[in-house]
Amino acid sequence: MNLTSLTFLFFCVITIIIYFIVPKKIQWVILLISSIIFLFYKNFNINTIIQAIVVLFTSYFIGLLIYKNRNSKKSKKFLILGIILILAQLVYLKYINLFIITTNHILSFINSQYEIEMTSSNSLIGISYYSLIMISYLIDIYRGSCKPQKSIFKCALFMSYFPILTSGPFIKYDQMENQLYSKHKFNYHNMCSGLIRIFWGLFKILVISLRIGYFVDTVYSNINNYNGFYIVVAVLLFPLQLYTNFSGSIDIILGISEIIGISLPENFKTPFFSKTITEFWRKWHITLGAWLRDYVFYPLLKSNYMQSLNKTISNHFGKNIGKKTYLYLSMLIMWIIIGIWHGGAYTYIIGSGLLQFVFMFFEDLFEPIATKINSKLGIKTDVFSYKLYQVIRTYLLFSFSMIFFRATSISNAIDIIKNIFVYNLWILLDNESLYTAGLDMLDFRVLIISLLVLFMVERLSCNGSVREKLFNQNIIFRWGIIYLLVFSVIIFGCYGVGYDPAAFIYGQV
Q: What is the predicted pLDDT for the residue at 291?
A: 95
In a domain, 426, yes or no: yes
The answer on pLDDT for 422 being more than 90 is: no
What's the whole-number mean pLDDT along residues 422-438? 57
Residues 35 and 133 in one domain: yes
Of 359, 388, 406, the last residue of a domain is 406
Confirm whether 204 is domain-assigned.
Answer: yes
Looking at the fold, whether 297 and 384 belong to one and the same domain comes out as yes
CA distance 173 to 158: 7
| Cα 118 from Cα 1, distance rounded (Å) | 27
pTM of the full structure: 0.92
pLDDT band of 506, cuts 50, 70, 90: low
- Domain contains 221: yes
Asked whether residue 437 carries a pLDDT value surpassing 80, the answer given is no
Together in a domain, 465 and 396: no
Question: 243 with 271: CB under 8 angstroms?
Answer: yes
Residue 367 lies in a domain: yes
In this predicted model, which residue has the larger pLDDT, 230 or 354? 354
Query: Is 361 in the same domain as 294?
Result: yes
Measured between alpha carbons, how far is 76 from 82 in angstroms, rounded to an integer?
10
Q: CA 84 → CA 290, 344, 392, distances in Å?
A: 21, 19, 42
Of 428 and 296, more confident: 296
Higher pLDDT, 241 or 108: 241
Instruction: Report the pLDDT averaged over residues 411-426.
Output: 79
Query: Is pLDDT of 90 > 50?
Result: yes
**How many Cβ atoms are within 10 Å of 398's Cβ, its own excluded?**
25
Domain hosting 460: range is 187-264+408-509
Is residue 272 one of the residues assigned to a domain?
no
Residue finishing a domain among 406, 427, 449: 406
> Which pLDDT score is estimated for 321?
86
Region 91-98 average pLDDT = 84
In a domain, 44, yes or no: yes
Residues near 137 by Cβ (< 8 Å), separated by ≥ 6? 59, 63, 146, 158, 172, 173
Question: Do 420 and 399 share a domain, yes or no?
Answer: no
274 lies in a domain?
no
Any long-range contacts for 427-432 (C-beta under 8 Å, 24+ apart)? 427/227, 427/229, 427/230, 428/229
Residues 161 and 191 in one domain: no
- Same-domain pairing of 366 and 454: no
How far is the C-alpha of 24 from the C-alpha of 16, rounded, in Å? 13
Is 80 exceeded by the pLDDT of residue 434? no
* Whether residue 352 is found in the same domain as residue 443: no
Looking at residue 508, what is its pLDDT?
A: 45
Q: Are residues 430 and 374 in the same domain?
A: no
Dihedral angle computed from the Cα positions of residues 135, 137, 139 and 144, in that order, rounded to the nearest 10 degrees: 180
Average pLDDT of the residues of the chain: 89
Q: Where a domain ends, among 120, 155, 185? A: 185
Residues 161, 40 share a domain = yes
Q: Are residues 181 and 309 in the same domain?
A: no
- Predicted confidence at residue 429, as pLDDT, reads 47
3-class secondary-structure state, position 284 = strand
The model's pLDDT over 358-400, given as tens digits with 9 standing for 90+, comes to 999 999 989 989 999 999 989 998 999 999 999 999 999 999 9
Separation of alpha carbons 39 and 340, rounded Å: 23
Whether residue 326 is contained in a domain is answered as: yes
How much is the pLDDT for 424?
56
- The 10s digit of each residue's pLDDT in 438-487 is 678 888 899 999 999 999 999 999 888 899 999 999 999 999 999 999 99
Q: Which pLDDT belongs to residue 500?
A: 57
Judged against a pLDDT cut of 70, whether residue 3 lies above it is answered with: yes
330 plus 391 within the same structural domain: yes
Query: What pLDDT score was predicted for residue 344?
Result: 76
Q: Count how many domains the chain has.
A: 3
Could you report the per-residue pLDDT of 163-220, keeping only the tens digit for each? Answer: 999 888 999 999 998 899 999 999 999 999 999 999 999 999 999 999 999 889 988 8
Tens digit of each residue's pLDDT (9 = 90 or more) over 301-340: 888 888 888 888 888 888 888 888 889 999 999 999 999 9
Distances (CA, A) of 407 to 221, 234, 474: 9, 12, 48
Question: Above 60 in pLDDT, residue 268?
Answer: yes
pLDDT, residue 202, reads 96
